[in-house]
Amino acid sequence: MVDDAQGNGSWGRRGAGGRHAVVVGGSLAGLLAAHVLADHADTVTLVERDRLPEDAAPRPGVPQGRHPHVLLEGGQLALEDLLPGFMAELTASGAPRIGMPSDMVQWQGGRWFSRTEATTHLYTGSRGQVEHLVRGRVLARPTIRVLASTEAVGLLGDAARVRGVLVRERGAGSGREPRPLEAHLVVDASGRASRAPQWLSAIGADPAQEETIDTGLAYASRVYHNRSDNLGSRSLGYYVLPGPAQVHGGGVLPLEDGRYLVTLSGLRGDEPPTDEEGFTAYAARLPHPFIHDWLREAEPEAPAFGFRGTSNVRRRYDRPGRRPAGFLATGDALCTFNPIYGQGMAVAAMSAVALRDALADPRRTPTTRRVQRALLEASRQAWDISAGADKKMPGAVGSAVTARAADRAAGWYLSRVQHRYPGDPVVGQAFRSVLTLTTPLSALFAPKVLRAVLLGPPPPTPAEPPMTREAALR
């Protein structure tokens, strides 16, 4: 590691000297960062607050773990790149694979989607399932060790250089004082509740400027057994995406064990309840009763769980300031999104690919600042999608809410894209590829997409929910 006063530390190739990296947080972003760093460090220590489960159960440290998660195609490609054979393993474990738009009854912006041939696929198994499989692969590496039931409470070092972390054991009766854990590199993957801004201030460094957009979206989720003949045969899931004109959302997605996870969402002051009668009644607020009708027939398995922490937050470690060498942030600790867009797991995997490529690039010295910029870039498109959409929601607040002139110009074009993609196969394929993070936003301006968006009326879409593909194509 090369240091200088500007915080431009360089993480070199592995060699003599017992290089040690610490990753704070053992969820998907932390596990994959540890996997990448194991190719450069002699030892990687993963510091995790929770006691790691042996199965795919939810963890207290992942408060959104009981709610729907989708693995977008961009994340699938990244995971397969990092852990060859992973997608076959995920499929073999029973994770449902949903073709879009063929397998989903979907509503957005006042229009039902035509269920034409799939141009992308989502995996909708539980968050715990994906994390469990990744954890098994990553922790099998002998250079990676885990400090479970242990929390990081501060950084070692100063404004020029981070030299490790302070850790403390958790649990009843532990009563232990923090102890130092020295390291050549510390990666913060502790999630949206990251304490890194306070830790950096405590060693004389500058915390990152934060960009925030909060719509006040809240949601509640509950697991059900299916009693209908619609789901599982005629369609695999239901989805209503909220927007400025219709702020309630909902979805029914299959899990890996044959059950279904139902989520309902609303904005601040109109949050979905978690009691049994209130949860079902809330579904009647959606623009069509198809989810409400399904809920009335389905068999609930467990109570509903609520979640409120849905703001978009981006920490700009790439901007000028006293940034110490030897400290990086990734995953939700760097950039977190409104979960309704399903981007978190994909961005965690894509960020790990960016970390790997930045460290291995033979053309450039992998300074702390350069690697941090690569991590931010890996999350940029997801931020543009999530933040761009949430700026338009009524009641949105935050430092990044104000629209720029460029936003207004792009918004006019994107509104035409969104109006056409439910029924136009050309626009639909391009827009889905952007939303699933497999192509850049520039794909929406390809000549054939431009022609479809700017010339002629939008193609017709179903007037009623297309419960079968045949109904959608008539």
For the chain, 474 residues long, give each residue's pLDDT as a single digit of tens.
333 334 445 555 554 458 999 999 999 999 999 999 999 999 999 999 999 888 877 777 776 778 899 999 999 999 999 999 999 999 999 999 999 999 999 999 999 999 999 999 999 999 999 999 999 999 999 999 999 999 999 999 999 999 999 999 987 555 678 999 999 999 999 999 999 999 999 999 999 999 999 999 999 999 999 988 779 888 999 999 999 999 999 999 999 999 999 999 999 999 999 998 999 999 999 999 999 999 999 999 989 999 998 999 999 999 999 999 999 999 999 999 999 999 999 999 999 999 999 999 988 899 999 999 999 999 999 999 999 999 999 999 999 998 777 777 788 899 999 999 999 999 999 999 999 999 999 999 999 999 999 997 889 999 999 998 876 655
| Whether 56 and 139 share a structural domain | yes
| Whether 229 and 159 share a structural domain | no
Number of domains observed in the structure of the chain = 2
| Whether 151 and 291 share a structural domain | no
- In the listed set 240, 273, 307, which residue is the last one of a domain according to the structure? 307
| pTM metric for this prediction | 0.94
| Whether 151 and 53 share a structural domain | yes
CATH number at residue 155: 3.50.50.60
In a domain, 357, yes or no: yes
| Whether 161 and 265 share a structural domain | no
In a domain, 435, yes or no: no
List the domain range (segments joined by +) for residue 153: 20-65+133-213+310-389
In a domain, 43, yes or no: yes
- The DSSP bridge partners found for residue 313 are 212, 336
| Whether 240 and 169 share a structural domain | no
| Whether 247 and 382 share a structural domain | no
In a domain, 79, yes or no: no
- In the listed set 363, 389, 415, which residue is the last one of a domain according to the structure? 389
